[in-house]
Structure 1
């Protein structure tokens, strides 16, 4: 390919770009404004795009390195792409290119080096999946960017065939001579298959809401020596080639949605925070919180000071100092000894492996609470357990049972300093642990007045 042909190709590309830009601007003049939110998800954006590109292929890459031929030719390459944008800064792109790569040894004495004059490799296809990262922009203060710099890397597979010219002018066309399988040496193929790693960078210009113009450069590193048809020339050489291109990328999807490629998340967040409707929602939320707080205060209100909130007080206006039950009604005046036994009061029973108080224990505990609040004094709570389980576990369980009784008394108005609780485990059974009836009696808490 000569430079005249290349210039004609670039001119055609420029005319196509201008035409596409004009068409896209006309189509986008009716696009509606976006209501995208910072945390609204990808569904509020256009995320798919297709692209076409054309450019030049070269056997040399920008970072240098060893090559089998010392002079490059510039040849036309072309390709297509399909991209899914996964976030503001990252997308996955499927790429395919075709074209010709060629070079020579014209800079060597006699135009020959290692027995070769030149080569020409036809790329039937080179297809890869690569990640595309938007690394920077020159207009980061804008609500939507219009110039993005990007880098790419991925993994691909290509099919190619090469021709070489020897020092004596003999041309060797390798097409149809490639071994298709290492197990079948007679299975000759037209093209050799190689994997490669594409690594590149570029810049993207927003032409319109639908169209972007891309300039990029990608280096393709093959995992073999033979892409150029010259093998075992330099033992450490794995072949490579580069593709510099320009192309158009077309965003797909509803025109009412913005392209995720160009959204600036920081500017979007700033605009969202300044949105008057958001401020109204915040104020409404504050009012709801205030109403909830007021409702909580109303629930806690205790007009007669008897320890029972007005919402649950069935006997409002109880005189100060009157002992009341859980519904706020005065307790009957009775000596503590009504429910007392030799140990202080009737034992509080518990279910198997439980420290939860039974409701039938409440009257006994209310009487004990009334006596302690009216007459003062102190009480010692002793928790016990039946013999099931280990001694260590039963000791802890008995302590939990004693603390359950203490918590009830303290919540009913008894000072915590008036009550002490301790667990004695399986000690001091009042019935045999060999029967379930006896074990039921042993699951208990006893008290003694100090």
Structure 2
């Protein structure tokens, strides 16, 4: 096999480009029916391979002994559909052969050829991947080829002038997507030239053929944040989109079911409390907690149901919230966690909430609780979930002795975001309960 410096240099350049482009990139995902402007549609490629007179269809050759020479090609491709591209290619090389005893030989240089071909991707082998991994393809086209044949027949050497003829390239191969930008290309192409003298011999009615078996690399060009249309897999894209919609609906359904179960539980608890906390003397304190039953009607009583002493003028105290108080509240906010899609406070949050309850009891502060969510799910569901989470925090603080009349719980749903809802990190920041001391 003969290899010249020009084609060997092309191989070195291709290897360098492949190493340069294999760096990690972040490629945005797009919907399966996104417009063409959301994709990269242009690519360039370079390949090297073996040129000889073999063919897969059994056509007769004038020289039955093959010689393998190096060929090279450079092309630009415009992808018009995920499975169809239009490719403009430059090819050069040399084809040669001889008979079994080497008495007759030929060598034909191909300084250049140019062809326009349709490139058809047959399938993405793995349908579960959004970006195709292994892709068989076919291509066919038409072009013009310059060639200069030199033949030695019976010891007589003849060199013909350079000719330019039409030719038809037809090929098949496999492309392997090694990154969002790069495909490795293994291919075979049969070139049918509209001339009988490519091998230096002319036989009436016969057109010469030669093949090109190659390996190369193809680079997608353009905005690297966009996926390549040639690598896209519409089936996997639809599956991914439908799965995301299903997961979103399943999360909403789960939240609704959890809320309905919570409502039933609260209704049962309320019915039980109504039964247990009857007030026989009508002083506003349930018999269970009334230490002074039979209080005369309209007597003002304290929390234990006993008559209050004469009211004195209230002493107005100035409320001062210190930095230490704010740190207690900030710690509670940072540690506050709920079960997913529920208003149940996790046990890991109790310690910091206990400190807030102690602070409210000690300094008689008032507290506003504001529940917020991200925009996942319906507005009605998010408003209800944010309200119930704020109420859950209030109920916990009251259970630890805080005055319920000094705690206000409000839900705002997704209406007051502090970060973008377009990212998972932003949505996490928006799911919160804010504490305000005053």
Band of TM-score, shorter chain:
0.5 to 0.7
Bigger Rg over Cα: 1
Structure 2 counterpart of 1:25: 22
Structure 1's 142 and 32: CA in aligned 2 closer, same or farther, altered over 3 A?
closer
Give the superposition deviation at 1:33: 2.5
Q: For 2:81 and 2:98, locate their aligned partners in 1 and report how far apart those are by CA, in whole Å.
A: 44
SS in 1 for 2:94: strand
Give the superposition deviation at 1:32: 4.1
Structure 2 counterpart of 1:122: 109
Structure 2 counterpart of 1:272: 241
Q: For 1:203 and 1:219, locate their aligned partners in 2 and report how far apart those are by CA, in whole Å.
A: 16
SS in 2 for 1:128: strand
Q: For 2:66 and 2:200, locate their aligned partners in 1 and report how far apart those are by CA, in whole Å.
A: 15
Corresponding position: 1:199 with 2:179: no
Say which of 263, 282, 287 aligns to 2:232.
263
Give the superposition deviation at 1:20: 4.0
Q: For 1:207 and 1:56, locate their aligned partners in 2 and report how far apart those are by CA, in whole Å.
A: 24
Q: For 1:277 and 1:44, locate their aligned partners in 2 and report how far apart those are by CA, in whole Å.
A: 24
Q: For 1:157 and 1:11, locate their aligned partners in 2 and report how far apart those are by CA, in whole Å.
A: 25
Give the superposition deviation at 1:236: 3.8
Give the superposition deviation at 1:141: 2.1
TM-score by length of 1: 0.51
Structure 1 counterpart of 2:216: 247
The C-alpha deviation readout for 1:27-61, integer Å capped at 9, x for no partner, is x33x2422x12222211100100111111111221
SS in 2 for 1:274: helix
Say which of 34, 44, 55 aligns to 1:40.
34
Number of equivalences: 250
The C-alpha deviation readout for 1:100-119, integer Å capped at 9, x for no partner, is 101111x2xx544xxxx111
Asked whether the equivalents of residues 14 and 46 of structure 2 are also in contact (C-alpha less than 8 Å), the reply is no
SS in 1 for 2:186: strand
Gaps of 5+ in 2: 253-438
Give the superposition deviation at 1:213: 1.0
Q: CA RMSD in A?
A: 2.7
Structure 1 counterpart of 2:44: 50
TM-score by length of 2: 0.53
Gaps of 5+ in 1: 176-190, 284-450
Asked whether the equivalents of residues 22 and 182 of structure 2 are also in contact (C-alpha less than 8 Å), the reply is no
Q: For 2:165 and 2:9, locate their aligned partners in 1 and report how far apart those are by CA, in whole Å.
A: 34
Task: Give matches, 1:61-140, under 5 Å.
Answer: 61-105=55-99, 107=100, 111-112=102-103, 117-140=104-127
Q: For 1:11 and 1:159, locate their aligned partners in 2 and report how far apart those are by CA, in whole Å.
A: 22
Structure 2 counterpart of 1:157: 144
The C-alpha deviation readout for 1:261-317, integer Å capped at 9, x for no partner, is 11110111122223349978xx9xxxxxxxxxxxxxxxxxxxxxxxxxxxxxxxxxx
Q: For 2:123 and 2:69, locate their aligned partners in 1 and report how far apart those are by CA, in whole Å.
A: 31
Structure 1 counterpart of 2:159: 173
Say which of 170, 184, 187 aligns to 1:216.
187
Asked whether the equivalents of residues 27 and 227 of structure 2 are also in contact (C-alpha less than 8 Å), the reply is no
Say which of 130, 134, 137 aligns to 1:147.
134
Asked whether the equivalents of residues 25 and 209 of structure 1 are also in contact (C-alpha less than 8 Å), the reply is no
